[in-house]
């Protein structure tokens, strides 16, 4: 699935966990900044029980949590 993350830069390390209510919902595999969307766009492996796009997703970067949104491919 695609993930939109409310940040303007990112360095992806191997398998950055994605969280939903402090439970691991999947992992971010790759990501880059989209100047058109003004957000980071990523590709993630998401556990089936979290496939609903209404599920809020969080990514921990250092000590900070960043909000994200699941969306379908392709993002336009």
Please report which confidence band the pLDDT of residue 2 belongs to, taking 50, 70 and 90 as the band edges.
Answer: confident
Task: For residue 42, give its domain range.
Answer: 2-71
Classify residue 12: in a domain, yes or no: yes
Classify residue 35: in a domain, yes or no: yes
- The CA distances from residue 12 to 9, 42, 72, 76, in Å, are 10, 9, 21, 22
Classify residue 18: in a domain, yes or no: yes
Classify residue 53: in a domain, yes or no: yes
> What pLDDT shows up at residue 76?
57
Count of domains forming the chain:
1
Classify residue 76: in a domain, yes or no: no
Q: 11-15, 16-20, 58-62, 67-71 — which is least confidently predicted?
A: 11-15
Residue 8 half-sphere exposure toward CB, CA atoms < 13 A = 3
CATH number, position 21: 2.40.30.110
**N-term to C-term CA, the chain:** 14
Classify residue 28: in a domain, yes or no: yes
Least Cα distance to 22 among 61, 60, 69, 62 occurs for 60
pLDDT one-digit tens code per residue, 24-76: 999 999 899 999 888 899 999 999 999 888 888 999 887 888 999 998 766 65
Give the span between the Cα atoms of 20 and 75, in whole angstroms. 22
> What pLDDT shows up at residue 75?
61
């Amino acid at each position: 699935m695609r993930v939109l993350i409310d940040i303007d830069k990112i360095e992806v390390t191997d398998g950055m966990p994605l969280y939903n209510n402090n439970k691991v919902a999947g992992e971010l595999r790759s990501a880059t900044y989209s100047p058109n969307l003004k957000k980071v766009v990523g590709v993630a492996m998401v556990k089936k029980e979290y496939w609903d796009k209404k599920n809020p997703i969080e990514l921990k970067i250092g000590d900070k949590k960043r909000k994200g949104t699941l969306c379908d491919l392709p993002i336009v």
